[in-house]
Chain A
Amino acid sequence: MLGMVGGTAVAAALAGCSTLLGEDDQSSGGEADVPDEPIQAGLQTYTEGAASVLGLQAQYGAEIAIQRINDAGGIAGREMELDVAHEADAAVENYTQFVDEGKEVTFGPISSGGHAALAPEVESQGVVNVGTDGTVTTLYEDTVPDPTYSFRFQNYDVMEVVTAAREAVARIGADNIDSIAGINPNYAFGQDEWKFFKLAIQQLVGDVDVVYEGFPELLADDMSTHITEVNDNEPDVTFTSVWGGDVTTLMNQAAANDMFDNTQLVGSILYSAVDELDQDVVEQAQAFSGSRNWYWDFPNGSRWSPNADLFEQAQSEYDVVPTAHFMSGYGAVTAWATATAKTVDILGEWPSQEQIARSLEDHGFHTPAGYHVMGSDHQGKSNAYSGSLEWDDDLGRAVLEDVNVFTPQEVAPPIGTDAEEWINSW
């Protein structure tokens, strides 16, 4: 049973701690001038279709975080209620609808393109949005370079591809990587990931031949052309940022074409398909996979009970192995809730949107994944996890073994530094 010193009961509950030690909760919620009604929150995520493999995980994480907030007495006594909207291709419309309905905070989206469209609208309408995903690097570099109300909790693209590049070098060795190939989804996210992976691996190992670059359509049902070219070129490393159902399609078809005999597959989020991967394919692939800012079994639950508790709750309530996208939802809610609770304590009253936004900047908070910081650039940064994808008979699912952890300093540019410049400066 873990206890937490300092902070609020809400912060302790969201960190996965069962008690607030010393009862030094400085919360003034009891005396603060706050509205009586519950906090209305909105989450947009993919609730159906292929992308719901990620989207529902984010929803489950957000729901459990809100459940924990309410069980801890709410934020300054105010409980939270969550409305969930199917993201579809309507990120801006969903957000506008939430604002029109009087939501005090919104979370989401999953899509990179949707997030790029949404962020300027958030700045225009002025209701805080904490992004769960939509991790394209350019969001706060180009699209909204000086945000006020738009935040993103999950590690972004450059972090997970630098993690993947460092992972490949650590496991294979720089001297053994002379050639690379890429099979990445044909839209902003996939192109962003491949661009930064190439940059990072070239900086880490020197001259590398890029022998093949394939961009299968999102939700492609046939990736055999790309697999055939990988087989023909036999690159030392094949990087992929496919996710969800596309992971299963790629890995099943790669196994059927003996691709894993010809290359080492390294993926930024292969683990997002954990509930769909088959044993024979996992064992044949021996792939390396990232898991963004959380892997449910590292540290193992026997040494880190918040992980064990969250895993068991996800299993019992939703029958899923929680992935990094689960933490995307959980962490986005946690970021906002802990910052808001802190601000109520300081002000003694319910804060405005601008005050909440300011308190989210440089805000540090805990989840079962560890300590996170929402930077002054509005980008959340956390440790990044990566491991060897293996099969676990007891779980009946793939797991990550031999997990490596990379700190934000190792995989993210300093605030104010362009990601491409940063990698080129290595």
Chain B
Amino acid sequence: MVELANFAIHTLNGIQYGFILFLIASGLTIILGILDVLNLAHGELYAVGAYVAFSVFGYVSGAFANPEGFVGLATFLVLSLLAAVVAAAIMVPLGLLLEAVFLRPLYGRDEVYQLVLTFGLLLILKDMNKLIWGPLPVRAGDIYSGINRIPAAEFVGLTFPTFKLVIIAVGAVVVVGLFYFFNRTKLGRIIRATAIDREMATAIGVSTDRVFTLVFAMGAFFAGFAGAMALPQSNASLEMGANPLVLSFVIIVIGGLGSLRGAFVGAMIVGVLSRWAVWQYPPAEIAAPFAIMALILLVKPNGLFGTWGETA
């Protein structure tokens, strides 16, 4: 008999993991869906975001050592989230630079050029991390322990880190925000229109260069934001970009290449089912996401939601 509390904690763990995966995969899928570029350096953008966050979080930890009381803890939480946003925002100019200088000359060429280029960028970004932050892993443990002092889950009788609840809440806000942006705003509609028919968008006066640059910068922002949110409960290391890249591919294949909705549903499926799978059969840790992908592709060979289309 499975205890309800235990089931709830495993499920919350999965949802939290799913939101982290979505934050990473969302950038990859909008770049793929709109620019038609499979960005192998996306995992490294996630890693750069984590490293940048390490530096930015340092200011928060320095300013607020050992936060106490409701006001102190609330301030610490808000500042930590702002620091994560700042870290992600620093990724925007990096994204602009990468797209304008390296990717733009390759649009229209064979996909192999993009793969070689983005793989090269992957290596360059990794070396850049090593040059700036050194060969050893770095951590932001003070942010994790500080936010966990807020006794959120205890109100419902669960032992569950507040930091994970924060990730769930922030992830939900990002999901709603992204869908609102692409479905309700003018700029979002322009981006979607460009994705659906580039020539028509150009004919009605849309600058595809600007749209592509903006979309790549958005992808870099969300990859960096995912790195910033993932850092406090673990660490940033030079290898950290590899797994998220692979899992992001799994998610966008499950959801449908280039579909934001698909990325969200795929991330939740992988997040929750893989955590349940490990819970029931621990040796499945590495295989679980791939097994889930294989099962879904057997039923829906093009993924759950197909490609980018009339809705995000």
Contact = CB atoms under 8 A, between A and B. Distances in A.
Question: Is the interface on chain A under 10, 10 to 19, 20 to 34, or 35 or more residues?
Answer: 35 or more
A49 B135 contact: yes
A49 B141 contact: no
Interface in A366-394: none
A249 B239 CA distance: 15
B159 A186 contact: no
A278 B141 contact: yes
Interface string B130-144: 100001110101101
A47 B243 CA distance: 20
B67 to A, nearest CB: 13
A243 B239 CA distance: 16
Contacts of A212: 282
B148 A256 contact: yes
B234 A221 contact: yes
Interface string A208-246: 000011111101111011101101100000000000110
Interface string B275-295: 100110011011000000000
Given A221-B233, A228-B9, A248-B235, A278 B145 contact: yes
B230 A221 contact: yes
B160 interface: yes
B228 interface: no
Contacts of A244: 137
A249 B144 contact: no
Interface in B1-43: 3, 6, 9-10, 13, 17
Q: Which of B10, B238, B243, B282 has the most CB of A within 10 A?
A: B282
A325 B240 CA distance: 23
A245 B235 contact: yes
A90 to B, nearest CB: 15
Contacts, number: 109
Contacts of A253: 161, 233
Given A49-B135, A217-B286, A280-B145, A249 B233 contact: yes
A52 B135 contact: yes
Interface residues of B, number: 37
Contacts of A216: 285
B137 A53 contact: yes
B6 to A, nearest CB: 5
A216 B185 CA distance: 42
26 contacts: A47-B135, A48-B238, A49-B137, A49-B238, A50-B137, A50-B238, A52-B136, A213-B282, A215-B283, A215-B285, A217-B243, A221-B230, A221-B234, A221-B240, A222-B17, A225-B282, A228-B10, A232-B3, A245-B234, A245-B235, A248-B139, A252-B141, A252-B145, A256-B144, A256-B145, A278-B145
